[in-house]
Structure 1
Amino acid sequence: MSDALFYPYQRRWISEKARFKIGMFARQTGKTFGTTFEVAEDCQLADLDAGRTRWVILSRGERQAKEAMEEGVKRHAQALGSIVRAYEQEYRTNEATYRAMEVEYPNGSRITALPANPDTARGFSANVFLDEFAFHQDSRKIWTALFPVISAGWKLRVVSTPNGKGNKFYDLMTGDDKIWYRQTCDIYQAVADGLPRNIEELRIGIADDDAWEQEYELKWLDEASAWLSFELISSCEHDQAGDPDAYQGGPVYVGVDIGARNDLFVIVVLEQIGDVLWTREIIARRRIKFAEQEMLLDDVFLRYRVVRCCMDQTGMGEKPVEDAQRKHGEYRVEGVLFTVANKITLATRGKETFEDRRIRIPMGDVALRADLHKLQRVTGPTGTPRFVAESDSAGHADRTWACFLAVNASAVPAVEYAYEPVGRHLRNHNDRPVRATAGLGMGKGLW
Structure 2
Amino acid sequence: MTTPVLTRDPDALPEELPRGSEIPESLDPLADGILMAHQRSWLADESDLKLCEKGRRTGITFAEMLGCALIAAAARGAGGQNCFYIGDTKDKGREAIGYVAHFSRVIAGAAHPIEEFLFEDQQPDGTTKFISAYRVRFASGFRVEALSSNPANIRGLQGTVVIDEAAFHKDVREVIDAVNAMLIWGGKVRIISTHNGYLNAFNELIREARAGKNGFAVHRYTFGDAVANGLYKRVCMMQGKDWSAEAEAAWEASVRRAYGSREAAMRQELDAEPAEMEGAALTRVQIEACMAKGIPFHRWTQPDSFKNADEAVRKAAAVAWCKTHLEPVLETLDRTRPHFMGEDFARSGDATDIIILEQGVDLTRRTKLIVELRNIPFDQQRDVLFWLLDRLPNFQKGAMDRTGNGAYLAEVAAQRYGARIVEVSFTRAWYELEMPPYIEAFSDRTIVLPAHEDVLRDHQALQYTNGIIRVPENFRFKGSDGLDRHGDSAIAGALAWHASNQDVVPMEFQSTGRRTALTAEDFTSPLGGRRMGFTRGGGGLDFGGF
TM-score normalized with structure 2 length: 0.41
Rg bigger for which structure? 2
TM-score normalized with structure 1 length: 0.50
